[in-house]
Chain A
């Protein structure tokens, strides 16, 4: 049992992979498979949030920004792919048939550029913002507010640039996905498989990061940032890595969201969308491996089923999720599992993995300064 224990998460990921990649396509209808693909996208973003917030202590309230960067990069590419050569995307013709394609659209004709942008844009934006904030030791609520402000700013910017980005109506009507016809069941299954596989990959990546020395250092930074300085590390760099990885995952999620859902609007990337991503992670358990992904899928399911059949009630449920989870279950549903496991291990005399729960707050190391 003890020899098996470190590998339990991998077995869990493997089971999850089989469920998503083999069982789901076999048993689910096309409609539900597509929905599951959408939840997978939110789960990918959530896995990143779990790393940054759960392990790193950075409450990333504005992951919609990175989700949006990936989504709009992909959406511009798919729009151009669906537009006849030499003509404008349909929504642009509506405003001004004689206008020329905005310059920043042009490179998104290229497959390679689009893929590179999906990876590099979030890395650059998160890198610059994270460096600027973490180096100046801006953290906690300040960081959370600023990260959400960025999400709001981007959503407002896109809303107001109707001619260039489609504004509030967003981008939609994609016909091709890198040469594949999107309105084709086989291709839809393929896109789902890509999303599900990337979710599995992200889980594996975060699992490895969590068990690595970096992961231990990240938890140490979360629990006692100033102390980490005295180990010779700059906590800003450690946090920056986690933040950039989370941003990258959100961008990948956004990029896959576009072909699966078929539309992207500023509403999917603004403050409330970002908060929705946080809700899933909080519900599932931010510091655990599977909690964020499963929580995001649950919230995603609620959003798309209850959200449309009983919209009023759904908002109340969402609000209550925030209140009840924070009050009574700060480490999410997975901590129930952890507590049960803890009881089990204690009876066998082995301490449970302590990394999942933040340590009791250490005394500030500067205490001596006040003497």
Chain B
């Protein structure tokens, strides 16, 4: 029983973390077509903000809750800066956004390396997250539960915001037909900026969760960026429900493969599994069917 329960629960938590990392990408990549390789470094920024908050507000019970909005705003501002400084010049060149942001990622990593110690910094979990709960005899760490709750909260607020707010409608209108949206009085430039801000901000929130689970150092972004993109690819670009399913499936798959083989072999197997999956669903889990060629 335990051989099944623990990878299932660990996998779900890992999936939640991947979902947090990928949610922002569904906005920047899915809605705007920007391949932001610095997204991982925005996650890193969120984690470092969690650490900095802790150095100011000594009580880790409070600081972690304070860190969430701060990380959202901090990473969001980084994203906004990137959009205004660079991305806005290259909306019609998706592959070039990838190359440009690879450069940005390198620079952000180096900045972090020069500010913070190379071996990384510790982010303490608050007392209320230090315990475990018992699930069928498996002691499930509370911080994993926290990740899942956080991911669910972000997911629901993003979905509600996109679906019901007038702003969400304007985003979707801009994605579907930019010219028409513009002539309908939507300021598409503002939409771009706010979408990018929110997408990057979500990476910051993911960073806070990541700081509680893994190490916080200048290289941490590189661990998350590729899995996060793979989740978006497998889920179907711009499809939030696909992203959720894909993140969960990838988390579960990685945990079970790791249970049966090793953590590193699990990554190879998960990659093979994804390529096989794409043979059947080259557009990902969910797609918007159109009559045009893609």
Contact = CB atoms under 8 A, between A and B. Distances in A.
Mutual binders A and B: yes
Contact of B268 (A153, A275, A319): A153
B292 A146 contact: no
A159 B278 CA distance: 27
By CB atoms of chain B within 10 A, which of A132, A141, A159, A318 has the most? A141
Interface in B73-115: 86, 89-90, 93-96, 98-100, 102-107, 109-110, 113-114
A325 B113 CA distance: 24
Contacts of B89: 327
A160 B264 contact: yes
B19 interface: no
Interface size class of B (residues with CB under 8 A): 35 or more
B292 A323 contact: no
A140 interface: yes
B265 interface: yes
The B contact surface, by secondary structure, is: helix
Given A316-B110, A370-B292, A136 B282 contact: yes
A132 B110 contact: no
A160 B102 CA distance: 26
A290 to B, nearest CB: 20
B82 to A, nearest CB: 10
A137 B95 CA distance: 16
Nearest to A369: B291
A69 to B, nearest CB: 14
Interface in A139-196: 140-142, 144-146, 148-150, 152-154, 156-157, 159-161
Interface in B272-293: 274-276, 278-279, 282, 290-293
B222 interface: yes
A370 B292 CA distance: 6
Contacts, number: 126
A327 B230 contact: no
Given A141-B95, A369-B292, A160 B282 contact: no
A369 B293 CA distance: 8
Size bracket of the A interface: 35 or more
B22 interface: no
Q: Which of B95, B96, B103, B275 has the most CB of A within 10 A?
A: B103
Nearest to B280: A136
A278 interface: yes
Contacts of B104: 319, 322-323
Contacts of A142: 233
Contacts of A364: 292-293
A326 interface: yes
Given A136-B282, A138-B278, A321 B103 contact: yes
Give the one of B35, B99, B265 with max A CB within 10 A: B99
Nearest to B108: A319
Given A153-B271, A157-B268, A319 B99 contact: no
Contact of A366 (B100, B113, B278, B293): B293
Nearest to B34: A141
A133 B233 CA distance: 13
17 contacts: A61-B98, A136-B278, A138-B278, A145-B229, A146-B233, A154-B268, A159-B264, A160-B263, A226-B293, A312-B114, A315-B106, A315-B107, A315-B110, A325-B99, A327-B90, A327-B100, A369-B292
Given A149-B226, A323-B100, A369-B293, 14 more contacts: A132-B275, A138-B282, A140-B94, A142-B233, A144-B35, A149-B271, A153-B267, A156-B264, A160-B264, A272-B222, A319-B105, A321-B103, A326-B90, A369-B292
The 9 lowest CB-CB distance pairs between A and B, nearest first, are A322-B103, A366-B293, A160-B264, A319-B107, A319-B106, A136-B282, A323-B103, A315-B110, A319-B103
